[in-house]
Chain A
Amino acid sequence: MGKLLELTNVHSYYGHIHALKGISLHVDEGEIVTLIGSNGAGKSTTLRTISGMIHAREGKVILGGTNITQHEAHVIVGMGAGHVPEGRGIFPKLTVQENLDMGAYTINDPKLIKERMELVFELFPRLKERILQYGGTLSGGEQQMLAIGRGLMLNPRILMLDEPSMGLAPVLVDVIFDTIKKLNEQGTTILLVEQNALMALSIAHRGYVLQTGEIVLTDDAEKLKKNEMVQKSYLGIE
């Protein structure tokens, strides 16, 4: 199992705000790795730095052996890093089908697009029923399914999910997490950012704990769950 993604001492900024202060982490092929931490810890920023939406001022991001630190976002997607952003980012005035088509933007083979779409519908049958509906008219859960499905259209080597449980009813959160687990079992590497640390740690192999732009702790998910600091700060166990 090689390292699929590796960050070394990454520093990112929003204007003058120093958001990531030297993040180093790695994700091995076939793993589910989760980043947990409170609001503003830099979880989303880490994903945004990997996918090229912002560029690191210092440090290196390496994907499958290639240094992608200064690559543009649309190039990184083509290299196999799918990013399902926070707030889902679906296109409200495109239909479900068009949204999925967009996910396969860099694929030129219509047959392959159709195949992938069938796979997505297998995973989320609900989307197939809504195929001609506008993205903006879907419920929150359906939108999340669409966002994940869209991220899968390119069959990415690593899928980065940002807060997939946000704003969803508990029963839907279970559906989403079951799907993530299933995807991983089928071979997709997952990097998961979650507020719901308990859920995240229950499906992840390893985890990193972020605090104000720095990694303060890393371990196997099982061990993190039992860690006193994690329990107190993120799992609500006194």
Chain B
Amino acid sequence: MKQFTSNPFYKFILFPIGQMLVFILGASLALSLFIILLAFLFRSNVTDFDLVERTLLILPQVLINGITIGFVYATIALGYTMVYGVLEFINFSHSEIFMVGGIVGVELMAYFDHTGALQTMNQYVVIGLAILLGMVISGSLAVTIERIAYKPLRGAPRLVPLISAIGMSFFLQDAVRLILSLTTGEFNVILPNFGTFDEFLILAVPGIENPLRFQIKSILLVGVTVIMLVGLNYLVNGTKVGKAIRAVAQDRPSASLMGINVNLIISITFLIGGALGGAAGVLFAIKATRLDPFVGFFPGLKAFTAAVLGGIGNLTGALLGGLILGLLESFGASYLSIFTNGAFGAEYKDILAFAILIIVLIIRPSGLLGQTVAQKA
């Protein structure tokens, strides 16, 4: 057994993917059972259609949507949680790093469109280039912000860098708005129309009446995030830099006594977190198709919530928290109006998601996979 678990293929490929599958299946199953139970309970209250039947009919699609958005939240949440793990500080400008990544990616695609190259290029190459550019720009932006706005405040009381981060967030929003208005005169950036991403892959499953419909962009989004999460897992658990990141997170003074350049490791942490945020931004842009300089706020807030829900500072927790939040949101959006007979529409999905967050945090203040402070010390 020991030999098997120390096999790198198992440790860095099978294990993280297995873990994701367990999280997806576990969270999906729990929420599905819960909603089906509710449907049976309220069946007699609804007269014009069969509630159970309706619930089951849309359930697969609801799960797919939830998992897709959940992976986006998880990828952003990793940026929050990595920085928190190392500095015990919430980088509130991370939502703007995400936004910048998205806008840079879309602008690149718009540039290809403008030069006419877009229609002749392979669509996956275009997406790949956009994600890469988003990662590079967002990663370097995160490192720069850390150097300018956080590093000089490292000895200061905790509230001070937090305020600096919020200020940075506003600064970035308006800076991007200024740049966009100077260059294009338009605050919105719109994804050019290309490729086959809006089409559906249809999978007929025996026993289910409606075939499952996967939008190609959803598959792309999940695929890319899974690759990135596996890569991150390898980086953190399998490399020397990763070990140094964990050491700095656990005990910064001791880490410096080991000969670890703590400032460099902190920069690398921001680089990784920012790059993940940038990639998530591009993926989000492909899904949302329309971005503006303020688009980062809600996904950022939700990803932060996901990080807290999973246990901030814990990488696996960010993944779990993101998936749960995405699923909750998707369930809220689809079922609230059905169950309340239209009294509460899909726009109340956030209330449902955050109400559940509050309940979870009352029961487990350190998050689902977090440790209590006493254990950590």
Contacts and interface: CB of A to CB of B under 8 A. Distances in A.
Nearest to B257: A83
B257 A51 contact: yes
A112 to B, nearest CB: 14
Interface string A94-116: 10001001110110000000000
B243 A53 contact: no
A106 B257 CA distance: 11
A94 B258 CA distance: 14
A74 B260 contact: yes
A85 B257 contact: yes
A195 B258 CA distance: 25
Contacts of A182: none
A94 B250 contact: yes
A103 B246 contact: no
A77 B258 contact: yes
A89 interface: yes
A145 interface: no
- Interface residue range, chain A: 20 to 34
Interface residues of B, number: 18
Contacts of B255: 91, 102
Contacts of B254: 85, 89-91
B210 interface: no
A72 interface: yes
Contacts of A106: 259
B89 to A, nearest CB: 19
A96 B240 CA distance: 16
Nearest to A48: B253
A150 B250 contact: no
B261 interface: yes
A199 B250 CA distance: 32
B250 A77 contact: no
A159 B240 CA distance: 24
B256 A93 contact: no
Contact of A91 (B246, B256, B261): B246
A52 B259 CA distance: 11
Contacts of B276: none
Contacts of B247: 91, 94, 102
Contacts of B250: 91-94
Contact of A105 (B251, B259, B376): B259
B336 interface: no
Contacts of A82: 257
Nearest to A73: B256
B86 to A, nearest CB: 13
B244 interface: yes
Contacts of A91: 246-247, 250-251, 254-255
B257 A77 contact: yes
B369 to A, nearest CB: 13
A153 to B, nearest CB: 9
A78 interface: yes
A93 B251 CA distance: 10
Contacts of A73: 256-257
B103 interface: no
Contacts of A200: none
Interface in A129-156: 150, 154
A77 B259 contact: yes
Contact of B243 (A83, A90, A101): A101
A101 B240 CA distance: 9
A89 B259 contact: no
A83 B256 CA distance: 10
Contacts of A98: 243
Contacts of A77: 256-259
B259 A93 contact: no
A94 B256 CA distance: 16
A217 B138 CA distance: 58
Interface of B: 240, 243-244, 246-247, 250-251, 253-262, 376
Given A51-B257, A72-B261, A73-B256, 10 more contacts: A53-B257, A74-B258, A83-B257, A85-B254, A90-B251, A91-B251, A94-B243, A94-B246, A94-B250, A98-B243
20 contacts: A73-B256, A74-B259, A74-B260, A77-B259, A78-B259, A83-B257, A89-B253, A90-B251, A90-B254, A91-B250, A91-B251, A92-B250, A92-B376, A102-B243, A102-B244, A102-B247, A102-B260, A105-B240, A105-B259, A154-B259
